[in-house]
């Protein structure tokens, strides 16, 4: 069952509101705007929202007009001494303004029930399934049918019904991509279900919508919607990488990988050999010895549009990917993560711990993971 309200009316209403909001914000773009839906789930939800907004606006206008009439017409006039007629009520009127709201509510309940069943819960016959796992403060995305895992940037094909399963690894979060689908909570010990579908290719903004501790504000993500072919190719690349990441020909990249995997050793004060750094104890990279599970999987980190769960964007205002910007983002993040994401468990790496050269090498390695 799908939402059946008049699509033309809905579109024009949405267009009007979207342009109004653009006007109101001084022509700024609104990347996370639920009033600009790009998929059937968000369209049904926002369509209902707009219907109810119009109903509310009309009722509000009626009350306002009545209030203004009362205030203007029945002001006490100077010299008025007679006692106004004490009216105790009017059964007719009171039945009337009980019945009219009931009629309005019944009318609005019909599309509401339709939209509820169209958008909520498990979907029959999805084209594919992804699993969202919430962590403080990042999202893990698994493709159970393909045994692929990624983080903070969900890649899906355009026009496909995507069933989404959601569960949390720690506290409650909420998964929200305003232009594709409203919120579904991501809860520990509970597998939730929703679905989404994108009509157009593009990069969609998402954000955690349930307060989840210190860096709740910084728990963001993107949904990258690509063509069917591009999606298939992306999955093939993931599966190929899982068979083994080829050794780098570039010396810097190889050095960066060694650092990442904890193979570059130094002596500690007791004279014992310890890894210089060991990113792999928390992070995983497919096809390498990095198998950490507690932090985002970085197998395709060089290919992602953001660093640090949607916070630092690797593209300029024109929306074009910028490798130099990505390198700078990765560096400032690795140097001092807590300044971007208070409370994060990722340790900071000051120069005393990681020289500029070594940091460059790690970043080059990460940027090489761009397929």
Partner 1 sequence: MATVAAKTLGFLPRPTSKTGFWSWVTTVDHKRIGIMYLITAFLMFLVGGTEAWAIRIQLIRPDNDFVSAQTFNALFTMHATTMIFMAIMPLLAGFMNFLLPLQIGARDVAFPRLNAFSYWSYLFGAIFLNSSWFWLSEKGVPDTGWFSYANLTSLKFSGGLGPDFWTVGILLLGTGTLVSGFNFIVTILNMRAPGMTLMKMPIFTWTTFITSIMIIFAFPAITVALLMLLFDRQFAANFFNVESGASVVFWQHLFWTFGHPEVYILILPAMGIISEVLPSFSRKTLFGYNVMVISTAAIGFMGFTVWSHHMFAVGMGPIVNTVFGITTMAISIPTGVKIFNWLSTMWGGQVKFTTAMLFAVGFIMLFTIGGLSGFMHALPASDAQQTDTYFIVAHIHYVLIGGSIFAIMSGLYYWFPKMFGRMLDEKLGQWNFWVMFVGFNLFAFPFHFLGLMGMPRRIYTYSSNMGWDFWNLVSTIGVFVLAAGITLFLVNFGKTMSKKMDAPADPWDARSLEWTIPSPPPEHNFDKVPTVAALDDFWYQKYPDEHHKDLVRPATPVDAHGIHMPGASWMPMFLGLFNTVAGVGIMMHSTVVLAIGLVGTFLAIVGWAFEGDGGYHIEVEGGH
Strands (E) in 85-210, as ranges, are 128-135, 138-143, 148-151, 153-157, 162-168, 173-177, 181-186, 192-196, 202-207
Q: Which is nearer to partner 1, 56 or 323 (CB)?
A: 56
Q: Which of 185, 201, 252, 360 binds partner 1 (CB under 8 A)?
A: 185
Separation of alpha carbons 49 and 55, rounded Å: 10
CB atoms within 10 A of CB 134: 26
Q: Which stretch binds partner 1 (CB under 8 A): 110-118, 123-131, 222-230, 246-254?
A: 110-118
- Tell me the closest approach of the beta carbon of residue 371 to partner 1, in angstroms: 27
CB of 97 to partner 1, least distance (A): 4
Binding segment for partner 1 (CB under 8 A), chosen from 43-51, 145-153, 195-203, 249-257, is 43-51
Q: Which of positions 121-180 make contact with partner 1 (CB under 8 A)?
A: 121, 136, 166, 170-172, 174, 176, 178
Site size with partner 1, rule: CB under 8 A:
101
Chain centre to alpha carbon of residue 235: 21
- Give the nearer residue to partner 1 in terms of CB position, either 112 or 263: 112
Among 13, 14, 48, 132, binds partner 1 (CB under 8 A): 48
Rounded CA-CA distance 133/143 in Å is 11
Binding mask 304-343 for partner 1 (x = CB under 8 A): -------x-x---x------------------------xx
Applying CB under 8 A, does 16 fall inside the site for partner 1? no
CB of 158 to partner 1, least distance (A): 22
Among 2, 4, 12, 66, binds partner 1 (CB under 8 A): 66
What's the longest Cα–Cα distance across the chain?
101
Taking the C-alpha atoms of residue 223 and residue 207, their distance in angstroms, rounded to an integer, is 10
Q: Decide if residue 192 touches partner 1 (CB under 8 A).
A: yes
Instruction: Report if residue 233 touches partner 1, rule: CB under 8 A.
Output: no
Q: Which residues of 62-80 are buried (b: 16+ CB within 10 A; e: fewer)?
A: eeeeeeeeeeeeeeeeeee
Give the residue from 238, 221, 242, 222 showing the smallest Cα distance to 230.
238
**Candidate ranges 150-158, 200-208, 293-301, 328-336; the one touching partner 1 (CB under 8 A):** 200-208
Give me the residues paired with residue 149 across strands. Answer: 142
Query: Which residues lie closer than 8 Å to 157 by C-beta, 6 or more apart?
Result: 127, 128, 225, 226, 227, 228, 230, 231, 232
State whether residue 131 is helix, strand or coil: strand
49 binds partner 1 (CB under 8 A): yes
| Residue 189 found at the interface with partner 1 (CB under 8 A) | yes
Region class of 244: left (phi > 0), else alpha (psi between -120 and 50), else beta: left
- In the complex, what is the shortest distance from the CB of residue 92 to partner 1, in angstroms, rounded to a whole number? 11
Residue from the set 123, 212, 280, 290 that interacts with partner 1 by CB under 8 A: 212
Q: Is 25 in the site for partner 1 (CB under 8 A)?
A: yes
Q: How far apart are CA 24 and CA 21, in angstroms?
A: 5
Nearest to 343, CA basis, from 150, 36, 138: 138
Contact status: 351 vs partner 1 (CB under 8 A): no
Sign of CA dihedral 112, 113, 114, 120: positive
213 binds partner 1 (CB under 8 A): yes
Query: Segment contacting partner 1 (CB under 8 A): 106-114, 196-204, 227-235, 268-276?
Result: 106-114
90 binds partner 1 (CB under 8 A): yes
| From 6, 94, 251, 291, residue interacting with partner 1 (rule: CB under 8 A) | 94
């Amino acid at each position: 069952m799908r939402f059946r309200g008049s699509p033309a009316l809905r579109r024009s209403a949405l267009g009007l509101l979207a342009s109004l909001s653009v006007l109101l914000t001084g022509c700024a773009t609104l990347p996370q705007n639920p009033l600009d839906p790009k998929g059937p789930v968000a369209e049904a939800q926002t369509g209902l929202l707009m219907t109810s907004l119009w109903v509310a606006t009309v009722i509000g206008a009626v009350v306002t007009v009545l209030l203004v009439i009362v205030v203007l017409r029945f002001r006490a006039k100077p010299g008025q001494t007679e006692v106004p007629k004490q009216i105790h009520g009017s059964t007719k009127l009171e039945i009337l303004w009980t019945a009219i709201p009931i009629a309005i509510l019944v009318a609005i309940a019909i599309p509401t029930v339709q939209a509820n069943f169209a958008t909520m819960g498990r979907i029959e016959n999805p084209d594919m399934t992804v699993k969202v796992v919430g962590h403080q403060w990042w999202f893990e995305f698994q493709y159970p049918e393909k045994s692929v895992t990624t983080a903070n940037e969900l890649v899906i094909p355009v026009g496909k019904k995507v069933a989404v399963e959601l569960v949390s690894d720690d506290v409650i979060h909420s998964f929200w991509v305003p232009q594709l689908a409203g919120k579904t909570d991501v809860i520990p010990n509970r597998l939730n279900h929703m679905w989404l579908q994108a009509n157009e290719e593009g990069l969609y903004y998402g954000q955690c919508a349930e307060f989840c501790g210190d860096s709740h504000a910084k728990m963001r993500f993107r949904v990258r919607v690509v063509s069917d072919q591009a999606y298939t190719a992306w999955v093939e690349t993931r599966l190929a990488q899982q068979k083994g990441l080829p050794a780098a020909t570039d010396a810097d990249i190889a050095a960066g990988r060694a650092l990442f995997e904890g193979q570059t050793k130094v002596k500690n004060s007791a004279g014992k050999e310890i890894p210089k750094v060991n990113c792999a104890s928390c992070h995983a990279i497919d096809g390498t010895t990095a198998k950490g599970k507690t932090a985002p999987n970085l197998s395709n980190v060089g290919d992602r549009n953001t660093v640090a769960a949607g916070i630092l964007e690797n593209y300029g205002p024109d929306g074009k990917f910028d490798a130099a910007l990505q390198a700078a983002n990765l560096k400032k993040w690795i140097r001092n993560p807590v300044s971007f994401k208070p409370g994060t468990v990722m340790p900071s790496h000051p120069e005393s711990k990681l020289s500029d050269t070594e940091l460059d090498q790690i970043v080059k390695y990460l940027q090489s993971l761009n397929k």
